[in-house]
Structure 1
Amino acid sequence: MLVQFLISFAAAALAVGFLRLLTNGKKTTSVRLDRDLEPIAFLFKEQRLLDATVPARALLAALPGNSEWQRLIGWLAMRLPESSINVGALERSARIVLTGQGGLRVKIENLGDGHLRMTLVDPQAESAGIVVDSLTLAAMEQELQILRSTMDHSPMLAWRQDAQGHVTWANSAYLMTVEDVTGSEAPWPLPRLFELGDGPKPVSRRVQVLNDTKNRWYDCRTHEIAGQTVAMALPADATVRAERSLREFVQTLTKTFADLPIGLAIFDRERKLQLFNPALIDLTGLATGFLTSRPTLFAFLDRLREARMVPEPKDFRSWRQQMNSLEAAASSGRHVETWSLPGGQTYRVTGRPHPDGAVAFLFEDITSEISLTRKFRSELSLGGDVFDALDAAIIVFGANGDVLLSNRRFTEVWEMPAGETLDDQLAHWDILCDGSPGFGVLRTALSKSQTDQVLGGAVRAPSGGLLSWRLCSLSGGRLLLTFQPVVSVDTDLAAEENPSDAMAASDLSG
């Protein structure tokens, strides 16, 4: 019996001890769990964070923005009614409780002296045990960090705004632009930098920053996502400056083209008229309305044909082939044609290729130039006829010894055309004069430097008899040499026997 009693007592003692141990273990676990479930609480003084619980600091670390206050208010603004986020009202009230999406509660207590304590309570997460795979959680956190870092370091402005136009989220570039425009730390709610309008989404447009003294421009594209507008804006200042410079350059060219007397017509790669100047209207007589309608090249040429402003073609087929050749030649390289119009005018038409397949045509009225050229040629022809009709044989040498010109009488007297140089001519005369004493005097006279004196003498003619010669200087170092038959036989013989005396007599008479 004693043994049974001892065994029963020992069993009862062990049971009591085990129950005590179990009770103590539950209390320890409960204390540990209570300690782990810290609230999400923040303590601010004049919008500067003084203290926060561990979960609260973890939440701030995951939010974008500059200051802790700005990050927290921005995060709450996306989850609470817009009218609730009033910083002035928060600082004046003693205690406020706000309720947002999904039952989120925010308790704000004014502790005085500028101190505010915020406590966040999420009923959906209370007493909820959620098991997450560590690898999945690490991958999600890594992707979130990459996305946040990419958006914060991007020069592109990105933000979200609701249907009322209130900005609910923005990246670092947007916040820095807000601070640059306002000259202070970005307030909340964030101001709108751009007026996006009410157009369809998605849409691209170029917008300017509102109330900005720097006149910054951005290329903005918007999308509709989950009832909000997501917008992204790329800086476009360089593009705007380039477009403005291009417009000013085009205006300068247009003003310059307007003053040109040459008609200009530029056709694009589709051969439609893109640019013309007033001179084209004056030269072609085409209506302004027709030119501003951007006709094709062949419509333009057909209208010129109807206005008789092109050379008269034999038939339409040959005309079309001619215009096709003109267009092909102008596209491949510089091409010039002279058009003699039925009205008596003469136009020079120049085709030049331009980048991207465009082609430009220049129409220049050269009627006066052609008339002047014809007149000049007529005068030259008349001068040549008079020069050839003279009885004297004439030849002109240049300063370098080249033969510049000679008349028909020279060829007849010397029985051969003039040589190319003075040396060639002297060699010919030496053979034709057959040792005439007067030829040496002529050679000596031609070898002398330019002088203002008129030299003369006589040489034996190839056909017999004597030729008197006369040498004088012209401008530019040129020499004029004339030959004439000597009429008096006595004078011929005396000049042949005493060529030096004949030369001296000629000098005195000159």
Structure 2
Amino acid sequence: MTLSPTALVLIGLLLSAWTVAAAWAVLAARGREKRAEGGQRQARRLARMVDESPAIPLLVRADGRIEAPQRLANWLGLEVVPQFLTELDGGRIDGGGGGLTGEQLNELIEAVRRCQRTANPFRMVVTPKGSKRSLALRGHLADPQISPGGAALVWVFDFSDSESELVQLRDAARRAQEDFAALVGLIEAAPMPMWFRGPDGELRLVNSAYVEAVAGEDARQVVADGIELVESIDGLTAKQVALQAAGKHLPIERIVPATIGGQRRSLRVSDLPLGQEGIAGYAVDIEDMEQLGRDFRAFREAQRSMLDQLSAGVAQFDARRTLTFANQPFLRIFGLKPAVLIDPAPFERLLDLARDGGKVPEARDFPAWRREKAGWFLASEAQEETWSLADGTHLRVVAQPLPDGGLLLIAEDRTEQLRLSANRDTLLRTRTATFDSLFESLAVFAPDGKLQLWNRRFAADWGLDDTILDSHPRIETLLERIAMRLKKPERAKQVGDVVRAATLDRRQTGGRAVLADGRTLEFAGVPLPDGNGLLTVLDITDSQKAEEALKQRAAALEEADALKTRFLANMSYEFRTPLTSIGGFAELLDAGLGGELSPQGHEYVAAILTSVDRLGEQIESVLDLSQSEAGLLPLVREEVELYPLVTKLVEDRAPRIREAGLSLDLRGDKGVGRITGDARRLARAIGHVLDNAIAATPPGGRVLVELSGRKGRARIVISDNGPGMDAATLARALEGIKLSTDGKAIERRQGLGLPLARRLVEAHGGTLELLSEPGQGTAAIIDLP
């Protein structure tokens, strides 16, 4: 079929239209694709902007479902965003570790429901559990285009930093208000007048002290009337002076007089410009300070006038170490001229001037010494030194730091005082040495009965401890100690009466006391010119004992003389007459008057004469021993110190011991004690025993003398390491002279030494015992009561 041209044209037009329509469709699709891509980019950008925005949207639908980004879950401390509003407490998601508290969630649910019903917006602040984050919620009804059906859109803001700043600002504002109130209260309660002026210089505010000072009714009336506290000075009113301070932008302080309470007072007035706000002012009452200043100046003048009258040198330096005052003695002591007061010199320069005059001690490094003395200004307490000058002057220097940083220097010339003190010390030492060397014991008591001085003999005589005397006790304390030493303690009162008579009554008295150890002390009280009393004590025990011994010995001698006369008359006749006859006839026979004797006869006669001589010697011994054996031996009773007695016996025999080549050991306690007996006869008895031990000891041997006390008795053991004795010899050792077994002759065993010693020991109530073994030596044991 052939198409007509018209049809072809129409078909061509139709195809062209379709082509145009297809091209338009393609271009429109491309445009819509570009717009869609732009919309998507815009949506992503908006979503990103929402994610990065400081606020997070929370969409709450009518059925309670919620839509929110993950960032909200992070703010609430949840892992994921819950589906419903009631799950924001986190209980169904993470076990309650995050989310809102029950009260906050209930409040939010109620606010959302109210907003959905009434379309009223709401605001609230929540804090997630376990978090310090503060979240602000701003809720309103959502636009229907966002969510139709009455949904609520809640914007969540994190304003933790803003909240902290708000809290700080509130605290700062509160503190500022409190400080302002305190400042206002302080100004009002201030005891000094205070005021405030406006930029025009007019009064705007005054405190109660200002009102009281100007005698006003109240602050409002004073401000309204413009009552000024300070009068015009040099034509300038207080207002004009305040304006000058404001104009110069500098505070102005001045001291002006004012009438307060009817009295003229000195005030220190200060005007302080406060920029464009005005001028503040206050006034301090310094009348008391001014009065103190005047009093201080008067006191200083009086003090310096008084210091000029002192003998000690006084100088004062200020905080700059410059001399401000020096009295005349100070200038004289350090050789300074009065010109130093006109042109005051520094402290170091003053030391240089004193050194030039030889008025400071010699120092190897004078600059170092001077710097050391300059340290006095910085010392925390007074410094005291003694300066010895080259000319023999002795200075006592005291440096007293002053509170204001200055120094008070005091110099005292103690040369004469030290000289007098040295002389006094010499006199005191001389007096003490004299007291201690006296045979008498001395003690000086004050009028109040206090012990002042004493010598060593005084403590020894009364048996007093040095520690007690060193405390200078009163006479009552000493009497208590003395009474313990007396045989009759009540006689101690007599010593106190003697001391009181010498110190208070000023008369000399005396007395005598017998001690418990048998000693006799004679004492006397002598008043001294200085008001004290001197107590002198003399031990007259030896003289008393000597007197008593002489009396006893005289009586014993008289009795012994009578006994001796009778004994000699009897014994001499009974023994000597026959002995003399025998000796005379033997001599006649030996001379041949009876005829010539044979040689054997001469021997018999010689034997007779020898026996006669021996018998005469024994008769003498018997006469010496007869008194003791008869119990008629007179003894002197006195206190005998055993240790000194035995020591003297050993010392007397020292030459003999050395000649014999022996060694002697003396052992014993000095406190072995004393006994009552005849010291001379005890010494003879112990000496005989000691002589016997020396004689029985071979050269190179050893003699031991030991003293001990036991059960109220004294024991003396004298032993040697000689040959010793057997039992038979030991039994006869103390027998000495005795009759023979036939009763017709006298035998001599060991001599008269040991028997006489035994008799003397027994006469004192003691015993003498000998212990010996052959080859082991001999020991003599003397026990005395």
Higher alpha-carbon Rg: 2
TM-score by length of 1: 0.46
Higher RCO structure (Cα 8 Å, ≥6 apart) = 1
